[in-house]
Every structure is written in C-alpha cells, then in structure tokens.
Structure 1
Amino acid sequence: MHHVLYPLCAAAAWTAFLYKLRDRRRQAGNPALTAVCVAFLLLAVVFTVSSPSVWEGLDRLVGVPNLSTLVSQGCVVAFSATVQVMLLFWVHPRERAVVKVRRRLLGVAVALAVMTVLFGTTAPREERSTDFVVHYSANPNYALYLVFYVSAFAVGLVDTTRIGWRYARDAPRPWLRRGLRATAVGAAVGLGYCAVRIANVVAPLVGLDMRPWEVLAPLCASVGALLVVIGLTVPAWGPHLSGLPALARRYLDYQRLTPLWRAVALRSSPEVVLDPPVFRALEWLRLRDLDFHLYRRVIEIRDGRLALRPHLDRRVAAVADRLGRAAGLPADDLLAVVEAARLAAAVRDKARGSPPTGDPPADGHEQPGGADLSTEIAWLVRVSRAYRRSPVVRAALAEAR
C-alpha cells in the first residue's frame, strides 16, 4: 500500500503546491495563502519521503538509517500546525490571528525539538521503510518518541477539525464552507492514523500483534491528506464546478443546432458562415469561447433562413401542419415541425436550382422564434430536432414533392 498510496498523495500534494504557488506570486501579502503553500509543500515532502524508494535512497544519501522517519514525521507535525495557521487567517481578523498563530508556531517548534532529541535516543539502526513503527514500537525510547509525536499531531488535527467545522457555518461563500468542512473531515480521518500509532505502543505491552491492522495507518493518512488537499483548494476551483451544468447545456445546444445549421447555413448559404469548420470530426471540441460560437450559430441559422426566404413555400407549411395535427403533436412541437418542413423543402429546392416559389410566408410569420437569446436557442433546438428526426417532416416533403 505504501508503494501506491504514498506516491499518489505526493503527486496530489505537489500539484496543489504548484497550483497555489501561482496564486501566491500574485498575492504576495496574503498570509493565509502563504500558509497554504507551505502546508502543501510540507505534505508533499511527507508523502515523497515516506515512499519506500525515496525513504531508502535518502537514508543512503545522508548515511543515517531511518532518518526519513524523523523528516517525514516532523513535516507531519509542521503541516498540521500550518493548516491551523491558514484556518486562523481565514476565520479571524489579521491582528487576532497573528496572536493565535504565534502560540501555535512556538508550540510546534518545541515539539520538533523534543522529537529530534527523543529520536536520537532511539538510534534505530536497521532500515525499515514499510514497517518501521511496528518493528520498533517495543523499543521504550522509540515508544516515548512515538507517543509524543502522535500527541503533537493529534492536537493539531483536533484543533483543525474544531476550527474548520465551527467556522464553516459562518463562511460567507458556499465553496469556502465546503472547503472548511472537507478540511475538518480530512483532519478527523487523520485521527485514525493517530489511533493506530498509539495502538502500536500499547500492543507490545499486552501481547497483541498490530501487523494485520497496520494497513489502516497509511489508509487513514492518505485519505485524510487528500480530503485536506481538496478542502484547502476547493474555494479556488470549486466555483467553476457550479457553472458546469450551464456550460454543459450550452454545449449540448450548440451540438443540437448542428444539423439545422449545416443544412440552412453551411451548405445552403455558406457566405453567412463566419468560421467554417476545417475538420468536421474535431468540431465537437469547440469549448473555447463557447458562448460566442453558440451565438454565431444562431445568427448564421437566421441569416441562412433569410437567404432561403424566396424558396419558402406556404403550401409545404400547410401540408406539415395538417400531418402534424393528424399525428396529435403538441402546439410547440407542431410549430417546430412546420418550420422544419418548409426549411427542408427550401434547402432541397435551392440545391436543385428550382425557381423561387413566389409565395413566401407573410411578414408576420417571417421569423418565428424566441423573444431573447435563450428562448431563441430553445426554439431552434426544437426545429433542428424536428429537421433531423421527425417523420412528419419527411412525410410532408414527400407529399409536397
């Protein structure tokens, strides 16, 4: 599990660090953002060093067996404190937050100093990159170190859970509330890691074997860390998710208009098309400037229809209306089918070089559709669907022919 979860979490933490570092350069005076960057850097170091291959390589490089344990666990404690710093700057005025931050930074400095001294007394000589805690938990010196480390980490997690969950209710923005709650939940899940580590100390005293339960430690650490990463970054990228349903609707509308646009504008009146597609197979990738392309598609369909006006025939509309009523179509669908039928007939006649009908629709019915862009799009989508799929349109064309 160490070989999979830890590299995955390291990649997520490094990605989050680089993502927030870009914002940090634009907002150099934001202490909360600085704390977020430091937190992600520490978390990235934790999981990078804890990956077995990096663990063993670092120890060989410095010539100190299991030094990676102290590095990774020291970064864990520092990370926990840094998350608290970030939350304090999020939920308190700067002056009040600074006072609280100083106390926590002093506490973490003392904790790291004590951890270094206690680890030095343990003197673990046998390299253990995947089961270090279980192997050395019976060592009294290491047990003392482990209890102190876990206690310092757990205090930070409890404080993070308390601050995040408490202030999520008062957060002014919905994605900030969700981020605070995700961070609080991630910290709470991390307490499962602390529980396993305390059990590692107690187990030798009562004759229990913790190896079957060891899988819970990296699992809780990894899941908790990923939730914290999500919680600390979601206020920045979460609002974009809120716009995804509307973006998806606009993209679907853009594609649904394609059959009508191709017939009425691209093939029948290509001069009205501003940006003809070079590769038809790649047209569906048009997400950039989607609103502009959707607007242009509506305009080009309307311009193409205007160019087809001499070929629009009221007799085709009458046939489609009669067949649609016989089929029991609802009023809105009936209007769309009638419009699609006379457009299809006009496209066919213009392509054949047939002379104009001399009987175009009356001016009052020249441009049926919506009163604004959204209703216009909805109308043209119905027409496009009927143009492509309606059996009434095909029957009307056959009868009119």
Structure 2
Amino acid sequence: MEGLSFYIPGAVMLTAFLLKLPALRRNPDDTLLRSVSGLLLVASFVFLFAAPSTIAAVNRITGIPNFSAPLVYCILTAFSGACLVLVINWRGGPPEQTRRTSRLSIAAYSLVVVALIVLFALGDAPVERLRDLDTYYANTPFIREMIVLYLLAHTVAAVVMTVLCWRWSRRVGRMLRYGLRLIVFGYLLNLGFDGVKFAAMGARWAGRDWDGLSTYVAPPLAQVSALLIGTGFVFPLIGHRIGVGWSTAVRYRRLGYLARALNSAASSMSASVTIGRWASLDLRLMKREAAIHDRILALTPYFDHSIHTDTYAAALAQGQTDDHAQSLADAAMIAAASTAQAANPGRNSLAAPERARQPSRTADDLVQMSHAVRRSPLVHEACRRAALTESSTP
C-alpha cells in the first residue's frame, strides 16, 4: 500500500510525459515543450525511485548499501533545476537572456549533483536505511554534508519558485493564474518538507530524537507537493487546449444551422471534399466553414438585393445595431436564395446581375448568420417571400 502512494502519482506523471511525446517529436526545437516534458519525466522518476521498495531494489542490484540515497537526492535536485528552467522559459523575455539564465540554472544544479555523488563516495554509510537515512547519518562526516547540500538546493529552488510564481500570478490571466497558484502551494509544502527535515536533523545534532518528523511527516508532504507542482505546470497548457477545443466545438455546432439551411446549394467542389470519420474537430470545422462559403457562392444567381434592403430596414426599425442588422439582412438574403434555389434549380447565373451582391462572410459573420437563420422571424419571413416569388414565376 505504501508503494502505491509513490507509484500511482509517478504513473500519472509518466503518462502525461508520454502524451507529450508526439508533440515533442513534431516540434523538437520548442524550448517550452522540452522543458515541460523534461519536468514531467523527472517528476515521475522522483516518485519511482523514492518508493521504499525501489530503494531496497536499487541497493540490492548495485550491491552498495544506501546507493539509492544519492540517486534520489540527485533526482530531487534535477527536479528543482527543471522547475526553475521551465519557469524561466515559461515567462519568456529576450531569447538570449532566457537561454543564458537557463544555462546558469542547469550548470548550478549540475554542480550540486556532482557534489552529492562525491560526498557520498567520501562518506561511510554501511548500514542500509530505507526510511530514516537522513536522521540515522545526521552526524556522519560527508554523508551529513551530502544531506544538508541537497536540502539547501531544494530550499533555494522552493523559495525562488514561490516568489517568482506568486508575483507572476498577479499579472496573468485566469487559467495561467490557477496553475501558478498550484505551483506556489506545492512549493510551500516543499518548504514544509525541508523545514521538518532540517528540524529532525537539528534535533539529532542537539542530542534529541525528532526522527518521526523526517520519517513520517516529510514523505507525504513531498508526494502532495510534487503532484501539485506537476499539475500546476501542466494545467494551464491542458486548460488552454480544452478552452480552444470547447470554442471550436461551440462554433462547429452553431454553424450547423446555417450549413443545413444551405445543404441544397452544395457545390461540386465542397461535395468532393471528404474527411475520415475520426478527423479532428478543427478539421471538421474547417470543412464546414469551407462548405458554407462554397454554398453561398453557388447561391449567387438567387440573391435578391431587395430582400436584403427590406430586412436591414426592418431590423433597424426594431432597434438592432447596424452590425446586427447587416448580419440579419445577409442571413435573410442567403436563406431566401437557398429557398429560391430549391424551387428553381436551373436558373442561369447571368440572368439577374443586379442580384449578385455577396454578403460579408468572416468567421464571426457566419456564426451570427447561422443564429439568425435559426431564430429570426425576419429571416423566416424572407424565406416565405422567396418561396411565394418562385412559385409565381413561370
């Protein structure tokens, strides 16, 4: 059960990393994407190698008692460095300055990793300790310095990240602000982890026994902290993707009314374009917008400018704004043209040059026209008028 509390969050982080791999392969030069992916991978390693069962397995495989200690400390140090690098790239700024700051952070934490390995090699830790190595060897030369060094590096990163993310969170939009606040909360827990570790070691130096703080209080703080920090980094990216996806879905659905109203006017060009049943929503939206443009173009011979003029005037008389009145008038002329085309499909495209006015068709215009086609009585009246006109035409 204790192992699951490490392995489950580790699996979540590793899954998030694997989901990022396709994008990383497509954009290998994307610094921010590389930073996020690296953070997720290192975070998954933190959980994997910090689990007591993994610690025992690594010690057994290497044949070196407590070999897992510097390994876990090095991974935690790398995680701290990865967080700093990600925030540096996330905030942006002059590219050269961003690269220089990132390289300095990587170099500094790489030196800490090397120092941890050297100190472990110089020290003597013959008794395997799976859960209380920090306090058990708190007075052992070199091992003591190794523990203090990794805690100091961890604390420095936590303080810097807390300050940077909190200041930044006060100047950004909602989605990013939520992510940054999660990171801040995670690093506050990190500082709690460092605090109880230092307290337990300080008690050992003073001849007292506060080992329970290090053994039982610190690990849950570290687990929750890593999850919050990882989630805080990923949340704005996922939230943005969900927001964009939701916006696309809403636009696709709203354009459906206009697309169905124009279905009978489908051009040969739009009919020849097919997409797979598993095509992305972005591609489906693109196809729907293109089909609507094609169908409006096919209706050009049926456009009746008098319908546009009358509907525009009626909309203004109802108190509509000029832009809204224009959209209603365009929708009425297009819907009426579709009705006329259905009643008289053989009209010559050159028969009525005065009717050839093309309505504006930006993406937002299409959505407004689709809404009008669905709900506006003015549009419904224009369709009725077009049907009567076509039925009386010999």
Give the TM-score normalised by the residue count of structure 1: 0.59
Change (3 A) 1:196 1:4: farther
**Structure 2 matches for 1:1-400, cutoff 5 A?**
2-91=2-91, 92-171=93-172, 173-204=173-204, 205-211=206-212, 214-239=215-240
Q: Which amino acid in the other structure matches residue 124 of structure 1?
A: A
Change (3 A) 1:139 1:175: same
Q: Which amino acid in the other structure matches residue 154 of structure 1?
A: T
Does structure 2 conserve the Cα–Cα contact (< 8 Å) formed by 1:32 and 1:90?
A: yes
Moved over 6 A (4+): 243-250, 371-378
Q: Which amino acid in the other structure matches residue 200 of structure 1?
A: A
Q: Which amino acid in the other structure matches residue 37 of structure 1?
A: S
Write the deviation string for residues 335-371 of structure 1: whole angstroms up to 9, x where unpaired. xxxxxxxxxxxxxxxxxxxxxxxxxxxxxxxxxxxx9
State the alpha-carbon separation in 1 of the partners of residues 96 and 247 from structure 2: 41
Does structure 1 conserve the Cα–Cα contact (< 8 Å) formed by 2:200 and 2:209?
A: no
State the alpha-carbon separation in 1 of the partners of residues 240 and 222 from structure 2: 27
Does structure 2 conserve the Cα–Cα contact (< 8 Å) formed by 1:192 and 1:216?
A: no
Does structure 2 conserve the Cα–Cα contact (< 8 Å) formed by 1:38 and 1:82?
A: yes
Change (3 A) 1:186 1:211: same
Between the aligned residues of both structures, percent identity stands at 27
Change (3 A) 1:10 1:137: same
Does structure 1 conserve the Cα–Cα contact (< 8 Å) formed by 2:134 and 2:214?
A: no
Does structure 1 conserve the Cα–Cα contact (< 8 Å) formed by 2:186 and 2:225?
A: yes
Change (3 A) 1:146 1:95: same
State the alpha-carbon separation in 2 of the partners of residues 232 and 188 from structure 1: 15
State the alpha-carbon separation in 2 of the partners of residues 249 and 32 from structure 1: 29
Q: Which amino acid in the other structure matches residue 35 of structure 2?
A: A
Change (3 A) 1:102 1:238: same
Give the TM-score normalised by the residue count of structure 2: 0.60
| SS across alignment from 1:214 | helix
Q: What is the deviation of 1:229?
A: 1.0
State the alpha-carbon separation in 2 of the partners of residues 130 and 96 from structure 1: 42
Q: What is the deviation of 1:143?
A: 2.2
State the alpha-carbon separation in 1 of the partners of residues 372 and 55 from structure 2: 61
Does structure 2 conserve the Cα–Cα contact (< 8 Å) formed by 1:14 and 1:44?
A: yes
Does structure 2 conserve the Cα–Cα contact (< 8 Å) formed by 1:160 and 1:184?
A: yes
Does structure 1 conserve the Cα–Cα contact (< 8 Å) formed by 2:179 and 2:232?
A: yes
Does structure 2 conserve the Cα–Cα contact (< 8 Å) formed by 1:32 and 1:85?
A: no
Change (3 A) 1:109 1:212: closer
> Which 5+ residue runs of structure 1 have no aligned equivalent?
251-287, 293-370, 379-401
Q: What is the deviation of 1:141?
A: 3.2
Q: What is the deviation of 1:142?
A: 2.3
State the alpha-carbon separation in 2 of the partners of residues 39 and 242 from structure 1: 23
Does structure 1 conserve the Cα–Cα contact (< 8 Å) formed by 2:124 and 2:140?
A: no
State how many pairs are aligned.
Answer: 269
Change (3 A) 1:23 1:106: same
> Which 5+ residue runs of structure 2 have no aligned equivalent?
252-279, 286-367, 376-394
Change (3 A) 1:374 1:3: farther
Does structure 1 conserve the Cα–Cα contact (< 8 Å) formed by 2:13 and 2:40?
A: yes
Q: Which amino acid in the other structure matches residue 112 of structure 1?
A: V
Write the deviation string for residues 129-176 of structure 1: whole angstroms up to 9, x where unpaired. 2232233224343222211110011111111112222222333x4322
Does structure 2 conserve the Cα–Cα contact (< 8 Å) formed by 1:12 and 1:226?
A: no
Change (3 A) 1:208 1:247: farther
